[in-house]
Structure 1
Amino acid sequence: MKKNYMFIVLLTALFFFNQAQAQICPDNGFTNTTSLFFFYDAGAPPCVDRPTTITVEGSTFNLTICDSSSAVYDIEPGDTPIMNATLFTADFGTATCEYTNGNLTDETLSIDSIDKALNNFVVFPNPVVQGNSFNVVFGSNLN
């Protein structure tokens, strides 16, 4: 029976990492070289949970406009504009997201993000002492 619980826990953990990854990198991101425009699907994290700064090619972009479906970041004065508007990699701090022609093409979670997720992952009771149920608690809400 305990083997079944471990299988369920592993499936839940995989689901959690997929959800965490999906929330960090928006599916669509565009630039005009001095501003970044990201568009989010329904259920995306609220503005307070989005990064206030993003780094692209060593330049810093600050959040200037945010709503439930989009976010706009403007380059800091004096920083270098993005060289190629059709291909850029945005560092969100917790993930690096590559965009080609406005579409997300690659995303990589940082080790810190994975460590943080694992530190907030709790299964109880551990070990299962009676009955056939257990609880899984995450450190943050999942959509």
Structure 2
Amino acid sequence: MERRFFNPSQPQTMQVAVFLLYANVVIGLLFRTGNQGEFILSAWALIRSPDGLDTARLLGNILAIVFIVGSAACAYLIANEKRIGWKAGVAVAAAPLVASAIIVIIGYPRRTSLVDVIDIGLLFDVALLALLLHTQTRSYEKIWFK
């Protein structure tokens, strides 16, 4: 079986999702910011301790690394039509949205509004999740993925 990083025979929604997953990897490696701040703030909000910032920073960095590695693995597996890649891709796409929701709902260390969290990266995360959950992508995944 041929291994590939991009599959032009897949539907356009899935091709764009694979591209966005690879873009997450490149942005995360180049700028070392691929949702790292959101993960740190959400971890700090869950710890709820002023001196827990170091623990939150460590946890946020670990989550950011898992996010970058997971994005690369999911993109590769989706391009090679593996069902586990699509399922993990949905989880990887939802992780920054969950982190942003934690920041808004808990709002620690200060009360945070939705406007404070919305940026261009969040819009790309929403687009990635929408592309992976699109009906065209889902029907292709159900028929062709192993």
Structure-1-length-normalised TM-score: 0.29
- Structure showing greater radius of gyration is 1
Which structure ranks higher in relative contact order (CA pairs < 8 Å, sequence separation ≥ 6)? 2
Q: Which has the higher strand share?
A: 1
Q: Which has the higher helix share?
A: 2
